[in-house]
Amino acid sequence: MAVTQTPHSQDLRGAPLGALARLRIRRPDAWGVSTLLIAAILALPVLVIFAHVFIPASEVWMHLRATVLADYVLNSLILLIGVGIGVLLIGVPTAWLVSMCDFPGRRVFEWALLLPLAMPAYIIAYTYTGMLDFAGPVQTALRDFTGWGWGDYWFPEVRSIPGAITMLTLVLYPYVYLLSRAAFLEQSVCVLEVSRTLGSGPWLGFRRVALPLARPAIITGLTLALMETLADYGTVEYFGIPTFTTGIFRTWFGLGDPGAAAQLAALMMTFVLVLIVLERYSRRRARFHHTSARYSKLPRYELRGGMAAAAMAACGLPIVLGFLIPSGQLLQWAMATTDMWLRPEFLRLVWNSISLAAIAAVLAVLLSLIMAYGKRLSPSGPTNAAVRIASMGYAIPGTVIAVGIMLPFAFIDNSIDSFMRERFDLSTGLILSGTLVALVFAYCVRFMAVSLNTVDAGLAKIKPSMDDAARSLGMSPGRVLRQVHMPIMRGSLLTALLLVFVDVLKELPATLILRPFNFNTLAVRAFELASDERLADSASAALAIVLVGIIPVILISRSISRSRPGHDQTP
């Protein structure tokens, strides 16, 4: 290979071919610039929200601070604490049981415990409300059986903060289960065997060895669940609980003050930032997971008799409460309105939802591919920081993102319209804020982390020597990506595409704020009908969302099962 003579050519003549190729790759190029540009665009909503912190308080903000702000903060904190305790109590023990113990049904529980992840929180909320309300089938059967009437008995109130904590816990514990199980599977067999030789039984080994090693993964899963709790709108709105998300909606649409809504969103962002800092702090010990290179057959604890029954109950109850019962109720309601599936308006909802989710998923994966590859080519400090900033969108509630997008997009639309009116006497209308452009952009900001992490993980498995070999044959970076990397990481790209697709399908707050006039999706329609107490009519849209969400859940579970080296040796 010929090397062009330069003042430093004598230092390069003895360098390996791969080193020369990497030297060329790491020069500033279009990939690094594209990565920085994409990250800057995706960070726009966050920057807009934070900018409103420095804007003088309006009368609406002063009114909010004097009346309802304390309720927003208190209720949000109560939800965070309650859901945090709930997801830990369910997610960690079940992950340990299916990973390190052997009992009847373990193989089924491994993937079935992830099924509630396919159930949006607002759907399970109104499903249980329909079943447990005074006029619902449970209380009706109770009165028929006992002969009691109104006021003769006490029944827990579903539409309450404890009820919301229960609903959110049932659908969010899979985040903790997911990462805890992966951490337990990755732990070295040597450490577990040493703990046994020192007299540690199942409980002692779990408490003193496995749990401390898996703590960073557990905290990460807990942080994700708490972020989703803060981001939830459908459940708290349906239950009538004032939180930050409901407050942002009411301030924007009820009081008509986008600035005050943005300031409320900025305050909410402080909660999110605290969670991010805690999650980053916990991951500083993640390296201690890899205590040995020995990964052989896991020494599972054999559970029999009462212990096996208790393990089955512990793993089965979350599945029954979080998926089987609400799905069964939705199916019953949907069967009562079978003609709904063939109505043109329902088919239009399906088409709107699928096409919108597909566009957002393809765009998110494409941007993730550019950013991940740009970071691979130019692994500099600014590039890595830009990728990290771009992946923060998942930690930001959809309500906050929507507010951060509407403000600059509305300003751009109004500026263009004013310019065209003055110069050409022509109104351009709403080019960005009133179209699907704003909605798709919000989805990309919100779910970029899901796509980026998956693509980046797939790209990291490709050895740099393959880049060197391809570049030595005269391939450009773009051609290397298209002809070498993308075929190899086809599975990761498909997984990222599928995950973003399902997340977009379930997203509610951003869709409610940013959707164009007279445009609906399955998620919005299900929420609207449920809010009008038309639960049976909303079941078809809700069930369609759940059925689509099951597919990636099963794929994720299988991926985790195969993540441990030597997994084929596991019984």
Position 348 in a domain: yes
348 and 468 both lie in a single domain = yes
By residue count, the chain amounts to 571
On whether the CB atoms of residues 441 and 417 are closer than 8 A, the answer is no
Q: What is the pLDDT of residue 225?
A: 87
Position 77 in a domain: yes
216 and 130 both lie in a single domain = yes
Position 109 in a domain: yes
374 and 242 both lie in a single domain = no
Position 274 in a domain: yes
90 and 235 both lie in a single domain = yes
d(CA 248, CA 514) in angstroms, rounded, equals: 14
Position 406 in a domain: yes
Position 553 in a domain: no
414 and 277 both lie in a single domain = no
On whether the CB atoms of residues 121 and 232 are closer than 8 A, the answer is yes
276, 299, 323 — which closes off a domain? 323
User: Which residues partner with 101 through β-bridges?
Assistant: 301
Domain span holding position 402: 29-51+337-531
Say what the pTM is.
Answer: 0.79
Q: What is the pLDDT of residue 233?
A: 87
On whether the CB atoms of residues 70 and 155 are closer than 8 A, the answer is no
Q: What is the pLDDT of residue 197?
A: 56
233 and 278 both lie in a single domain = yes
Position 538 in a domain: no
121 and 166 both lie in a single domain = yes
Number of domains in the chain: 2
d(CA 295, CA 286) in angstroms, rounded, equals: 18
Residues of the chain short of pLDDT 50, as ranges, are 1-28, 188, 286-296, 564-571
177 and 75 both lie in a single domain = yes
Position 541 in a domain: no
Which CATH number fits the domain that encloses residue 361? 1.10.3720.10
d(CA 255, CA 107) in angstroms, rounded, equals: 53
> Which alpha helices (H) appear in 473-534, and where do they start and end?
477-480, 486-488, 490-506, 509-514, 522-531
pLDDT in tens, 50-69: 777 677 767 888 888 888 88
Q: What is the pLDDT of residue 9?
A: 41
